[in-house]
């Protein structure tokens, strides 16, 4: 007998496979496009941004729209270039410079652009002047959240819908409420030996037009498939982090197993950090002082050297634990701080003693990038 249900299953599977192949190709193209112009700290950032770009074209299907926040320990690490590259891939890119609250609120409600906001450290340095933008970003993360404002000559209350994709860039941390809404995008300062392509919009127009057309066509055909998506969420993430990644993981799952795995690895890795980025350069400088003429140093010895350095916060952080020979907590915290610079401890030998520690060569790249000429 002719098995109709089996034929339907085969047809559905073929359609699903075609969709996954098409989406994979687009995600890979976006990932590689970023890699030509931006120096990320790891491949996880590129994976996250490829998924987020696809999300920008389908954000109407999601309950949340996370904020990629491109940051680095110091200036001249490619944050503005990151936003420029992003602007060539997303729908209705709008670079917001010295934003007027009234203009931003009305533009979002009318056009639902993709907002690209640079210099966040300067914007949020004045808490009073940034209250409007802060309220917009806090509410605009979630569908159906609105911000009430008085408008018109009669000062009538209007609830502004501020839900749309937004990418941010700056130095250091965002205000706490925005920190919980971000995808951490960590950038590296390019060394002289590292080569990235020169970014010229006019030379890339044909390529970016084709990429946007592919993304737009895919979104029009498949956005509805994301409306009821319920991807498995990594348990290691907090509730808010799961909100952040749910729309991106739904897209990754449509792209097939390889992207499902890469996306979850990226989510866990990017949020597995408690680094204080503003202290990164200071930590690197004090570690270099601690090494002195040595080629290697144990973790415990390094911690003692750091806590003895009155120019940093390390003594107040770890001094008490070390005084009670409790080194596990300080060692783990130091490891998390150094992970952002791609530095991990290893077993080292000093005479007949083997312990966990660091070799000076491990820091050469970070010192070259963030302490040049010092």
Residue 277 in this model has a pLDDT that exceeds 60: no
Query: Residue 202: pLDDT above 80?
Result: yes
Mean pLDDT check: name the lowest of 53-62, 130-139, 358-367. Answer: 130-139
Q: Let me know the angle formed at the C-alpha of 256 by 253 and 259, rounded to the nearest 5 degrees.
A: 75
Arithmetic mean of pLDDT, 15-37? 90
Could you tell me which residues come within 8 angstroms of residue 339 by beta carbon, excluding any fewer than 6 positions away? 272, 273, 275
Give the integer Cα–Cα distance in Å for 137 and 250: 23
Q: What is the per-residue pLDDT for 8?
A: 39
- The whole-number average pLDDT for the span 336-354 is 90
Span 316-334, pLDDT tens digits:
788 888 988 999 999 998 9
Q: What value does the mean pLDDT take over residues 9-17? A: 52
Q: Phi/psi at 55 (nearest 5 deg)?
A: -60, -35
Positive or negative torsion for Cα 281, 287, 290, 295: negative
Q: Of 191-195, 334-338, 360-364, which one has max mean pLDDT? A: 360-364
Q: What is the pLDDT of residue 374?
A: 61
Length of the chain: 374
Nearest residue to 140 via CA among 87, 181, 94, 185:
181
Structure tokens at 367: 């010192």
pLDDT the model gives residue 76: 64
Residue 99: what pLDDT? 67
pLDDT in tens, 94-124: 998 766 788 899 999 999 999 999 988 778 8
- Identify the CA nearest to 133 among candidates 176, 178, 81, 200: 178
Rounded-to-integer distance, Cα 83 and Cα 80, Å: 5
pLDDT, mean of residues 160-168: 95
pLDDT of residue 276: 41
Span of 33-47, 82-96, 169-183, 209-223 with lowest mean pLDDT: 169-183
Predicted confidence band of residue 14 (pLDDT cuts 50, 70, 90): very low
pLDDT in tens, 250-262: 999 999 999 999 9
State mean pLDDT over 363-370. Answer: 91
pLDDT at 125 (0 to 100): 72
The CA-atom distances, in angstroms, between 368 and each of 4, 186, 191, 253, 311 are 65, 17, 7, 39, 22
pLDDT digits (tens, 9 = 90+) for 283-302: 999 999 999 999 999 999 99
In the chain, the N- to C-terminal Cα span, in Å, equals 80
pLDDT at 10: 43
Pairwise pLDDT comparison (271 vs 68), residue with the higher score: 68
What whole-number distance in Å separates Cα of residue 219 and Cα of residue 58? 6
């Amino acid at each position: 007998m002719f098995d109709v249900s089996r034929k339907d299953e085969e047809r559905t599977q073929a359609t699903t496979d075609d969709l996954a192949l098409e989406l994979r190709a687009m995600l890979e193209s976006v990932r590689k496009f970023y890699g030509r112009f931006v120096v990320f700290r790891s491949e996880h950032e590129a994976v996250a941004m490829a998924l987020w770009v696809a999300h920008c074209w389908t954000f109407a299907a999601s309950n949340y729209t996370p904020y990629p926040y491109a940051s680095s320990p110091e200036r001249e690490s490619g944050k503005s270039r990151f936003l420029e590259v992003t602007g060539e891939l997303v729908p209705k890119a709008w670079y917001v410079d010295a934003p007027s609250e009234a203009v931003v609120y009305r533009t979002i409600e009318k056009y639902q652009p993709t907002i690209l906001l640079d210099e966040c450290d300067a914007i949020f340095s004045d808490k009073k002047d940034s209250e409007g933008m802060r309220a917009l970003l806090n509410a605009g993360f979630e569908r159906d959240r609105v911000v009430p404002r008085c408008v018109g000559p009669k000062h009538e209350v209007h609830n502004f819908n501020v839900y749309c994709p937004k990418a941010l860039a700056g130095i250091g941390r965002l205000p706490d409420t925005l920190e919980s809404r971000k995808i951490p995008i960590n950038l590296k300062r390019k060394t002289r030996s590292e080569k990235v392509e020169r970014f010229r919009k006019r030379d890339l127009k044909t390529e970016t037009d084709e990429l946007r057309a592919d993304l737009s066509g895919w979104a029009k055909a498949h956005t509805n498939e994301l409306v009821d998506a319920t991807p498995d969420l990594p348990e290691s993430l907090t509730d808010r982090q799961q909100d952040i990644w749910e729309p991106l993981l739904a897209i990754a799952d449509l792209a097939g197993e390889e992207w499902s795995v890469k996306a979850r690895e990226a989510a866990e890795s990017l949020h597995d950090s408690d680094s204080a980025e503003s202290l990164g350069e200071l930590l690197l400088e004090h570690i270099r002082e601690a090494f002195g003429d040595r080629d290697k140093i144990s973790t415990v010895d390094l911690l003692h050297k750091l806590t003895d350095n009155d120019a940093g916060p390390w003594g107040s952080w770890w001094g008490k634990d070390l005084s009670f020979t409790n080194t596990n907590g300080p060692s783990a915290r130091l490891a998390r701080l150094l992970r952002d610079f791609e530095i991990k401890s290893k077993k080292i030998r000093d005479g007949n003693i083997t312990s966990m520690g660091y070799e000076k060569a491990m820091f050469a790249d970070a010192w070259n990038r963030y302490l040049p000429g010092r």
